[in-house]
Amino acid sequence: MSRSVQAYAYARPSALVTEAGGAALGLETAGGSTPVGAEAHPAFFAGFLTSPGAAARALLAVADVAGTRYYQRTLRSSLDPVVTGNGDRLRFESFSGCCGVYARLDILPEGLDGAGTGHGTTNVDVNNPLREALSRLGGDDPMHLRVGPDELAVATLDGPVVEKKVPLPDRWLRGFAESQVVCAGFDLRAELDAAEAVRFLRSLPRTAAGSASARGPMWVVAAGRTLRPTTRPVPGAVCLPGPERLAALQRVLRHATGLRVYGPAVPDGAATSSAWEVSLPGMRLTLTLSPDPARGFSGEGGVLEALATDEAAGDAELVSVLLAWEPRIDPADLAGQSGLGVARVRAALARLGTAGRVGYDMADAAYFHRELPYDAGRAERHNPRLTAARALVAEGAVTLGGGGLAQVVSGEQRYQVRESAGSVLSCTCLWWAEYRGRRGPCKHALAVRIARRAAGAPVAPTAATAGATR
């Protein structure tokens, strides 16, 4: 697995200070992006949390996911969460070390009481002493939240810094890219009130029991005011793969006001991703699960079509200048501003997502702008299927034919790739036989797509780049 080392430099450790009149939570920031460019320690917010107890436990839940591997638990993982200021809200995001769980806490305008929220993205320090202090926090006394350095810290930024160096797998970065494509295809499938939400989530196992793949995927379906298990994906059912991966939600159940469940349409019995959003006073905590605990988001292949076209690259450059740290990005509005079609805007957003520049909020059914401090081309360069497909094209292994047929020579094998209605490419390889496009195109189909675009053949947008229809 390709890895690099990410260095986080903080002016000082994050800390929680409690006094008789309340508490003060100072979250220190590392280098990040803002509307005026890169800053060493950007400041996004200084004010009060309207529900401090719920916010403290929700932040711990995001940190829980960042420090956990739900698959191959013997391997350690510790990645500092990402925070984005979108002008009216704060978003805290993290990925599990195994890339199979994506967590996001949205502290909404009604959850913040301050002078305003800044714009930008950076990492925040969540250290062990801070976690212990947040865990001990009781009651709902006033809590002041500071995200970024205060005036004293600004005056001493030339002094010693706290530095963390952590291994950063390429598949972790690809997980951020793939998750926004997956989430854009979700719809609301069930909504539970507070009592039913707590009852259901507390009934779930907190540890894995046996082989999930041997038992098959778990499904739930809305039944009145609650959810009931089902052995097969009936209409409206949602897959719950590895229910123990929702354990981080246990931290916030005492503050929960409801539960919303999102998932895709279910065409067959194959496991799918799903998202579980706990409503809290003034905020939302969401965990998105990959289709299997042993399967991270990084291999889902939803962004491959967008990465494979030079058109999307040019469109992404145009669309990127129109992003303004907005909390809600409407592809139709971007299409009007850019002069591009909605399908091309969605493909451009998918490409921007490979650099972590956009995410998707299911509650708003809209994209949002962020800027992860990572190399924009890294996920593209290290995507194995895309790299293999481009190598096949460079080797002249693709032969385009009429009637939507093409042949690809790979090693000693010759594969047939066929284009059907909706510009869907199928292949005679084992990958297609196993996944049927559920994890994006195989390298042979992707090579044919690249070759046809290079030859100037018209190519209709695919389902992956067309995005959600909501």
Which pLDDT score is estimated for 75? 55
What order of strands is seen across the sheet that includes strand 45-49?
15-19, 22-27, 143-147, 45-49, 112-114
To 5 degrees, how large is the angle CA 261–CA 263–CA 266?
135
The mean per-residue pLDDT over the stretch 449-454 comes to 84
The mean per-residue pLDDT over the stretch 452-458 comes to 71
Q: Determine the Cα–Cα distance for residues 445 and 398; give it in Å rounded to an integer.
A: 10
**Closest C-alpha to 376, from 359, 352, 358, 360:** 352
Note the CATH number of domain 3-168. Answer: 3.10.150
Same fold for the domain at 3-168 and the one at 178-299?
Answer: yes
For the chain, the domains span 3-168, 178-299, 304-353, 383-470
DSSP 336-385: HHHS--HHHHHHHHHHHHTTT-EEEETTTTEEEE---SS-TTHHHHT-HH
Q: Determine the Cα–Cα distance for residues 126 and 342; give it in Å rounded to an integer.
A: 39
Is the predicted pLDDT of residue 61 greater than 90, yes or no? yes
The mean per-residue pLDDT over the stretch 134-161 comes to 68
Is the predicted pLDDT of residue 468 greater than 50, yes or no? no
Is the predicted pLDDT of residue 4 greater than 80, yes or no? no
Per residue in 322-355, pLDDT tens?
A: 888 888 998 899 999 999 989 888 888 877 877 7
Domain covering 178-299 assigned CATH 1.10.3470 in the classification? no
Is the predicted pLDDT of residue 261 greater than 90, yes or no? yes
Is the predicted pLDDT of residue 265 greater than 50, yes or no? yes
Is the predicted pLDDT of residue 303 greater than 70, yes or no? no
Q: Determine the Cα–Cα distance for residues 285 and 151; give it in Å rounded to an integer.
A: 31
Two tokens, residue 50: 């309207």
Of residues 152 and 296, the one with the higher pLDDT is 296
Of residues 282 and 386, the one with the higher pLDDT is 282
Is the predicted pLDDT of residue 60 greater than 50, yes or no? yes
260 secondary structure, DSSP code: E
As a whole number of Å, the end-to-end CA separation of the chain is: 36
The mean per-residue pLDDT over the stretch 437-456 comes to 83
